[in-house]
Copies of this chain bind each other. A is one copy, B any other.
Amino acid sequence: MDVTKIMLTEKEMPTSWYNILPDLPEPLPPVLHPGTGKPVTPDDLKRLFPMALIMQEFSPERNIEIPEQIQAIYRMWRPTNLHRAYGLEKALDTPARIYYKYEGTSPAGSHKPNTAVAQAYYNKAEGVKRLATETGAGQWGSALAMGCMLFGLELKVYMVKTSFQSKPYRRIMMETWGAKCVPSPSTDTKAGRDVLAKDPDSPGSLGIAISEAVEDAATHDNTHYSLGSVLNHVLLHQTIVGLEAMKQMEKADAYPDIIVGCIGGGSNFGGLVMPFMRDKIKGKKKNLRIIAVEPQACPSLTKGPYSYDFGDVAGMTPLLKMHTLGHTFVPPPVHAGGLRYHGMAPIISHFYKLGLIEARAELQVPVFEAGVRFARSEGILPAPESAHAIKVGIDEALACRQSGHSKTILIGLSGHGHFDLSAYDEYLSGKLKDYEYPEEKVKEALTSLPAVPGA
């Protein structure tokens, strides 16, 4: 019998996250204070984050133990399965061996709960009563709603107004888990009211929502801010995915030649690839190829300069050294809402600079074509974000057919597409349109790149 899913028992689940910082061949450029141009200190961040997470952000420890309470919650849906894609291999008639790590079986349907649960835990442990966050399409907001519910924290989610109106299911999911969710811009914050005063019909943006959530946290007692990607500690929590996948590949007596993941802020990709990347850095797996896939409509890694920029549109965050399309850039409305972010996690940007990863930008129509191909051969209906990784995984498998090489390809399948079916409908009915690289808009946004004080 060929094994279709490589499973781990709960006892085989990793008990530490993997922190790549001490293994980097060159250190990560520091995060800078926008006022002074000096590296931020833990003290600068403590109004927004619990000290445990701030310490993880800069930690020199390679292995960071996962507290037992977090492990207990992980066990509700973890370890997740690693699948061998026999159906897809057959459909492609490829000699490649394709595996995928599937995170869609979590209660929120994606990898996001891996960090949501951890962030809720550490905030609770430091006596915080309430969190504020933003969400675009709603994947992050619903994951954090679940995390806060499990630890008895209140949660307020500022959801980009267009998504709030067009994707009510994610909003209801958050409410079912007990969170409060409002459309952003809202009248609940000064930032929101300022926007509404200028434009009462503002559709909102992730940047506005971040400003609202940060202001909310800064102006409410016992309230912290929480972010679902980009930062080191978020990617750290996601390494549970890659650590499990490594053990599972080992059980299958295999090791990937190629790993593919999609990138928005970078947390799903980083979490999957970093444990394998260590082997590449150490010279044990020099030929390992790691490919990050982003949308053509928002190609930060492939088209954005590597520069210091703000994490949010309003310019309230510290300065991050990253590939960026400019913090005022508003991406076209592609359906992969989780990939519509102007910047890229500093650590992923650093990997790219060091030549540890490759990057590709894809158009959404061929991405949906790949998603449907996957659904029709593997049964699982992927999120549009995950379908970006599938697209490139299929391209690589077809290259194997061409060359006759039997490579081992590992695809990160970050979530299911149950809430994205209207996008599939558009694709299937031929109405889905493509957005090329928005060169003019990016050029304009890049003029907003901030100067680093004292540089």
- Residues of A bordering B, CB below 8 Å: 1-5, 7, 9-11, 72-73, 75-77, 83, 86-87, 105, 107, 109, 146, 149-150, 168-169, 172-173, 175-178, 372, 375-376, 378-381, 418-419, 421-422, 424-425, 428
Q: Is the CB of A421 within 8 A of B168?
A: yes
Please indicate the chain B residues that have their CB under 8 angstroms from the CB of A3 in the complex.
10, 75
- Could you write out 12 A-B pairs with CB less than 8 Å apart? A1-B11, A3-B10, A5-B76, A73-B379, A76-B87, A168-B422, A169-B418, A172-B425, A172-B428, A173-B381, A176-B381, A176-B428
Please judge, given known A-B contacts A168-B422, A172-B428, whether A150 and B1 are in contact too, CB under 8 Å: no
Complex-state Cα separation, A298 to B250, whole angstroms: 52
Beyond A3-B75, A7-B10, A146-B379: 13 further Cβ-contacts under 8 Å? A1-B10, A3-B10, A4-B76, A73-B379, A107-B381, A169-B418, A169-B422, A172-B425, A172-B428, A173-B381, A175-B424, A175-B425, A176-B381
Please indicate the chain B residues that have their CB under 8 angstroms from the CB of A11 in the complex.
1
Q: Is the CB of B87 within 8 A of A150?
A: yes
Shortest beta-carbon distance from A324 to chain B in Å: 34
Complex-state Cα separation, A169 to B2, whole angstroms: 34
Please judge, given known A-B contacts A76-B379, A177-B375, whether A7 and B7 are in contact too, CB under 8 Å: yes
Of B5, B9, B177, B380, the residue contacting A10 (CB under 8 A) is: B5
Complex-state Cα separation, A172 to B418, whole angstroms: 10
Q: Is the CB of B9 within 8 A of A7?
A: yes
Of B7, B75, B172, B178, the residue contacting A376 (CB under 8 A) is: B178
Please indicate the chain B residues that have their CB under 8 angstroms from the CB of A421 in the complex.
168-169, 172-173, 176
Looking at A176, A378, A418, A421, the one whose CB has the most chain B CB atoms below 10 A away is A176
Q: Is the CB of A372 within 8 A of B176?
A: yes
Please indicate the chain B residues that have their CB under 8 angstroms from the CB of A169 in the complex.
418, 421-422
Looking at A86, A173, A378, the one whose CB has the most chain B CB atoms below 10 A away is A173
Shortest beta-carbon distance from A170 to chain B in Å: 8
Complex-state Cα separation, A223 to B7, whole angstroms: 39
Of B72, B73, B107, B375, the residue contacting A380 (CB under 8 A) is: B107
Number of copies: 2
Complex-state Cα separation, A149 to B175, whole angstroms: 36
Complex-state Cα separation, A428 to B181, whole angstroms: 13
**Closest partner residue, chain B, to A107 (CB atom):** B379
Of B10, B75, B109, B176, the residue contacting A375 (CB under 8 A) is: B176
Please indicate the chain B residues that have their CB under 8 angstroms from the CB of A109 in the complex.
418
Shortest beta-carbon distance from A229 to chain B in Å: 21
Shortest beta-carbon distance from A120 to chain B in Å: 12
Please indicate the chain B residues that have their CB under 8 angstroms from the CB of A2 in the complex.
72
Please indicate the chain B residues that have their CB under 8 angstroms from the CB of A176 in the complex.
372, 375-376, 381, 421, 424, 428
Q: Is the CB of B172 within 8 A of A77?
A: no
Shortest beta-carbon distance from A62 to chain B in Å: 24
Please judge, given known A-B contacts A1-B10, A172-B424, whether A379 and B418 are in contact too, CB under 8 Å: no
Of B76, B175, B376, B380, the residue contacting A378 (CB under 8 A) is: B76
Please judge, given known A-B contacts A3-B10, A87-B150, whether A177 and B418 are in contact too, CB under 8 Å: no
Please indicate the chain B residues that have their CB under 8 angstroms from the CB of A177 in the complex.
375-376
Shortest beta-carbon distance from A444 to chain B in Å: 36
Please indicate the chain B residues that have their CB under 8 angstroms from the CB of A379 in the complex.
73, 76-77, 107, 146, 150
Complex-state Cα separation, A86 to B72, whole angstroms: 10
Please indicate the chain B residues that have their CB under 8 angstroms from the CB of A149 in the complex.
376
Complex-state Cα separation, A169 to B420, whole angstroms: 9
**Closest partner residue, chain B, to A68 (CB atom):** B1
Complex-state Cα separation, A72 to B86, whole angstroms: 10
Q: Is the CB of A419 within 8 A of B418?
A: yes
Complex-state Cα separation, A378 to B107, whole angstroms: 9
**Closest partner residue, chain B, to A427 (CB atom):** B176
Shortest beta-carbon distance from A167 to chain B in Å: 10
Please indicate the chain B residues that have their CB under 8 angstroms from the CB of A424 in the complex.
172, 175-176
Complex-state Cα separation, A428 to B177, whole angstroms: 11
Q: Which 5 residue pairs across A and B have the least CB separation, nearest first?
A: A107-B379, A4-B75, A172-B421, A169-B421, A172-B425
Shortest beta-carbon distance from A414 to chain B in Å: 16
**Closest partner residue, chain B, to A106 (CB atom):** B379
Complex-state Cα separation, A178 to B73, whole angstroms: 37
